[in-house]
Homo-oligomer: A and B are copies of this chain.
Amino acid sequence: MNIQAYISQICDELSETVGHVCNDSAEKLADAIIDAETVFVAGAGRSGLAMKNFAMRLMHLGFDTHVVGETVTPSITEKDVLLIGSGSGSTSSLVTSANKADAIGVTICLITIDENSPIGKLAEVVLPISAPSPKIDRDVGFRSVQPLGSLFEQSLLLTLEAIILLLMERTGKTPESMFTRHANLE
């Protein structure tokens, strides 16, 4: 198969999957971000990269934002939000962070395949994504041609991109105002 054939399959899978993202959950996630003093994001592996992708745009929008594990990330408090992206909702290091955050009284939000996962049970807001997972035996109505958690990770990334558009609408921020905050030393 050539790349256009593969691209077509990926786009179909992706549209199908993100087409099920729930409007209400997304609104609640946007509310939690707007209400937080600081937004902390966390994720492992490729889901972690999607969370960083989102954090960068939150910063461009003027939200005080940090990635768990980066150099200047401070302590989290009960006024903050911890947003986790995790297909399984059970990655050990993220469960640890979620438990610590929960004990502090932090608002936890989760984007996941599995609402009933350990992190899902701690989260105030859960946005489910109906993608297959190598770790979870689950019928999503089709079989992805893509390996491992790729379809979840792509769906996570695109869902977060759409939340950026929601947040732009809500805060009245323009691409121009966002560009003034864009890193300018590279």
| Contact residues in B for A186 (Cβ distance below 8 Å) | 44-45, 68-69, 91-93, 96-97
Copies in the complex: 4
- Residue of B18, B55, B104 touching A184 (CB-CB under 8 A): B104
Give the number of chain A interface residues (Cβ < 8 Å): 83
A181 at the interface (CB under 8 A from B): yes
Which one of A1, A49, A76, A181 has the highest number of Cβ atoms from chain B below 10 Å of its Cβ?
Answer: A49
| Contact residues in B for A73 (Cβ distance below 8 Å) | 59, 183
Q: List 22 A-B contacts (CB under 8 A).
A: A2-B166, A3-B23, A3-B26, A6-B165, A7-B158, A8-B19, A9-B165, A40-B185, A45-B183, A46-B53, A55-B71, A56-B71, A56-B72, A59-B71, A67-B70, A74-B181, A74-B182, A75-B181, A96-B185, A104-B184, A147-B179, A148-B179
